[in-house]
């Protein structure tokens, strides 16, 4: 008993406690940075909103400008079309007046020519009838003389009648030829004068049309530049 060794004392193992969890501690610089970030984000959102508002305002303004410009262009085009139509109607009316005047003048000249021709024909017919009456009277006288006198006188009367008839016919033909020549001269002069007047009228119409076209062109250029 005396020689046995005592047993060592038993030691109870107690494990170490776990390390504490880190607790974030906000420093002054972190708070300042956080506030600056918030302010910066708010300012950025405000700038984006203002930018969007400005974009919408600019779009509305330029859209209004485009609409007003289109409306102004449309008004100018309508006005130009209206003025062109008025000028064209005036030109057509003036051309119609000139044409009617030319037709009236041509008709008047034709009526004068027909009247002159009729007068000459009536005068020729009257002269023919007068010559025939004189010839009939002379023939009757000669016939009566021939009845009173002998057959020789009758033959002489017939010869004289034939001679007078030939002379009368010759005079009648000469008068008709002169009348036909005079009528032809008058008709040719009338046709020449009518053609000359028509050419002058056509020239005036062409000059007026060119003047209208030049004036419309200048007005269009002026309207385009304005």
pTM for this structure? 0.26
In a domain, 213, yes or no: yes
| Residue % of the chain over a pLDDT of 90 | 0
CB atoms within 10 A of CB 45: 10
Residue 181 binned pLDDT confidence (cut-offs 50, 70, 90): confident
In a domain, 21, yes or no: no
The predicted pLDDT at position 1 comes to: 47
156 phi and psi angles, rounded to 5 deg: -60, -40
CB atoms within 10 A of CB 157: 20
Q: Is the pLDDT of residue 152 over 70?
A: yes
Rounded-to-integer distance, Cα 123 and Cα 37, Å: 127
23 phi and psi angles, rounded to 5 deg: -110, 120
Total domains in the chain come to: 1
Q: Is the pLDDT of residue 123 over 70?
A: yes
Structure tokens at 28: 């002054």
Structure tokens at 49: 């909103």
83 phi and psi angles, rounded to 5 deg: -65, -40
CB atoms within 10 A of CB 209: 13
Rounded-to-integer distance, Cα 186 and Cα 113, Å: 7
In a domain, 56, yes or no: no
Q: Give the model confidence (pLDDT) of 128-141 as tens digits.
A: 888 888 888 888 78
In a domain, 3, yes or no: no
**Residues 186-192, mean pLDDT to the nearest whole number:** 86
Structure tokens at 106: 């041509």
In a domain, 47, yes or no: no
Structure tokens at 67: 């609409």
Domain encompassing residue 133: 83-225
In a domain, 52, yes or no: no
**Residue 167 and residue 131 in contact, taking contact as beta carbons nearer than 8 Å:** no
Least confident piece of the model among 8-22, 62-76, 96-110, 163-177: 8-22
CB atoms within 10 A of CB 191: 14
In a domain, 111, yes or no: yes
In a domain, 65, yes or no: no
Structure tokens at 8: 């060592």
């Amino acid at each position: 008993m005396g020689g046995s060794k005592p047993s060592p004392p038993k030691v109870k193992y107690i494990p170490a406690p776990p390390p504490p969890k880190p607790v974030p501690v906000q420093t002054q610089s972190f708070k300042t940075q956080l506030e600056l970030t918030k302010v910066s984000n708010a300012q950025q959102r405000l700038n984006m909103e203002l930018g969007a508002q400005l974009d919408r305002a600019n779009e509305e303004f330029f859209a209004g400008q485009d609409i007003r410009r289109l409306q102004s262009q449309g008004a100018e085009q309508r006005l130009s079309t209206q003025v062109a139509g008025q000028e064209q109607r005036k030109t057509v009316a003036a051309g119609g007046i000139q044409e009617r005047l030319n037709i009236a003048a041509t008709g008047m000249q034709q009526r004068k020519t027909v009247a002159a021709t009729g007068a000459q024909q009536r005068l020729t017919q009257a002269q023919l009838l007068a010559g025939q009456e004189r010839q009939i009277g002379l023939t009757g006288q000669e016939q009566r003389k021939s009845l009173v006198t002998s057959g020789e006188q009758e033959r002489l009367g017939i010869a004289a009648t034939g001679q007078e008839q030939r002379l009368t016919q010759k005079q009648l033909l000469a008068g008709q030829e002169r009348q036909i020549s005079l009528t032809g001269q008058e008709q040719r002069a009338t046709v020449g004068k009518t053609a000359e007047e028509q050419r002058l009228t056509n020239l005036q119409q062409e000059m007026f049309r060119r003047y209208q076209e030049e004036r419309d062109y200048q007005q269009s250029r002026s309207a385009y530049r304005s």
